[in-house]
Amino acid sequence: MKNLNGYYGQWGGAFIPEVLHETFRQLKDFYSKARKDPAFWQEYTDLMATYSCRPTPLTAADNLSRHFGGARIFIKREDLNHTGAHKANNVMGQGLLVKRMGKGRVIAETGAGQHGVATATMAAKFGFKCTIYMGEEDVMRQRPNVFWMEKLGAEVIPVTTGSKTLKDAINAAFRDWVTNMDNTHYCLGTACGPHPFPEMVTWFQSIIGLEAREQIERQFGRPPARVYACVGGGSNAMGVFQGFLDLPEVELVGVEAGGEGLASGRHAARLASRDGSPGVAQGYKTMFLQDDDGQMRTTHSVAAGLDYVGVSPILTDLWEQGRVRFASATDREVMAALELTMTNEGIIPALESSHAFVQAFKEAGDMSPDEAVIINMSGRGDKDIFTIANAFKDPSWQQFIINKGKEYEAER
């Protein structure tokens, strides 16, 4: 999949300031030792089986399958992982590595807050100090996650530079790291950034694909025809795709944030639109949404976790090779798919994950009942009640918030 120095085709690399050179050398060293050590993976899977809910189930969504009248739809339930999303897989893996490195502090960026909550959880369990950088705009959008991070003992620092979203939180975390690298590990949340992060995060997330492969063969008797995953940075997609990359007959589909539509320019589709172009930022080379001068553009999505200018270099390579097909889902389509999934299956996907559902729903009806599709449900939506209720513009919820606000106001 890769050659030396963390390149995947022409993508990836490690574009890091000199001050971090030694830190990365050490990280690569510990990572490659862990990767070669079967006891490390065993410790990791044991931890995930006892502290989290692994293996997470593969649910046959029979009502949705009937509704579309085509392929059998299966849902990989990362929502049932501890902290409610696939993010915990990567975080717990990196946490074990931090223990081996003997560092006592972790920092992380977060967009939607899922990775921040997962990192704060891991830090609480392993006894690390923890600082989370979060764009000020995301702090406003995702207050409940900020609340939990703080309650879990992490310090949350709102980032007020740039677009005040995920990419700016990543820059801020790097700035912390160049100052405190001796005792601090940067627990990057997705399969992006400088080598070895894309490969390392993909490795920890491969637990999703390994489980899904075994589960679909047991429950359906053979591999699926297609696998769908939403793509922000790309970690949940890389995770589930890992189980099927060696089967060329399985089509892998990445779904990016179409926002208000690709034509509107207000989206975060780096590969599915024609707006992305090769660039180098945040330490790696990939397709970025940028202007002619190489300045990063503002992205848009109803799902904060997909609202990002870059994408995993591994996915960009797989896209270029034609191994992964890319599509996009608009904010509006996402809300419809979410509603359909809730009412038909009693399952509440996160807004991010709902993007994958959209594309599967567009295609399932044209497929045969002899075929199966897997949708990777990267996270649960019920904990994002503020965001989802807001996206639905639910009047009774709005009234509840107004009343609650008045109550708090009166108490002050």
Partner 1 sequence: MKLSAEIAQASSGKDILLMTHIVLGYPSFETNKKVIAQMVANGVDLIEMQIPFSEPMADGPVIIKANQDSLLDGTRLADCLNFARQMTETHAIPFLFMTYYNILFKYGIEAFCQRAVEAGIQGFIVPDLPPEEGADYLKYARQYDLAPIQIFAPTSTPERMRFLAEAAGGFIYCVARRGVTGTQTTFNEEFNNYIAQCRASTDMPLAVGFGISNRDDVQALIGKADIAVIGSETIRLVDRQGAAAVGPFIAGLR
Q: What positions carry a catalytic annotation? A: 87, 109, 378
Task: Rule CB under 8 A: choose which of 162, 223, 261, 265 binds partner 1.
Answer: 162
- Binding segment for partner 1 (CB under 8 A), chosen from 65-73, 106-114, 179-187, 235-243, is 179-187
**How far apart, in Å, do the first and last CA atoms of the chain sit?**
58
Report the number of secondary-structure helices (H) and strands (E) in the chain: 15, 14
281 binds partner 1 (CB under 8 A): yes
The nearest distance, CB 327 to partner 1, in angstroms, is: 26
How many Cβ atoms are within 10 Å of 267's Cβ, its own excluded? 27
| Core vs surface per residue 304-331: b (16+ CB within 10 A) or e | bbbbbbbbbbbbbbbbeeeebbbbbbbb
The nearest distance, CB 70 to partner 1, in angstroms, is: 43
23 binds partner 1 (CB under 8 A): yes
- Residue number, 23 or 63, with CB nearest to partner 1: 23
369 binds partner 1 (CB under 8 A): no
Q: Is it true that the peptide bond before 313 is cis, omega within 30 degrees of 0?
A: no
User: Distance between alpha carbon 315 and the CA centroid of its chain, in Å?
Assistant: 13
The two tokens of residue 61 are: 């969504």
15 binds partner 1 (CB under 8 A): yes
- Residue number, 68 or 133, with CB nearest to partner 1: 133
d(CA 118, CA 204): 14
d(CA 42, CA 116): 25
Number of residues in contact with partner 1, rule: CB under 8 A?
37
11 binds partner 1 (CB under 8 A): no
292 binds partner 1 (CB under 8 A): yes
The nearest distance, CB 175 to partner 1, in angstroms, is: 5
157 binds partner 1 (CB under 8 A): no
Please answer whether residues 205 and 89 qualify as being in contact, where contact means their C-beta atoms are separated by less than 8 angstroms. Answer: yes
Q: What pairs with residue 105 in β-bridges?
A: 129, 184
Considering only residues 205-244, where is the footprint of partner 1 by CB under 8 A?
A: none
Task: Rule CB under 8 A: choose which of 198, 232, 233, 283 binds partner 1.
Answer: 283
Three-state secondary structure of 270-289: CCCCCCEEEEEECCEEEEEE
- Residue number, 6 or 379, with CB nearest to partner 1: 6
20 binds partner 1 (CB under 8 A): yes
123 binds partner 1 (CB under 8 A): no
282 binds partner 1 (CB under 8 A): yes
CA pseudo-torsion sign 236, 238, 242, 244: positive
Q: Residues in the site for partner 1, rule: CB under 8 A?
A: 5, 13-23, 161-162, 167, 171, 174-175, 178-181, 277-283, 285, 288, 290, 292-296
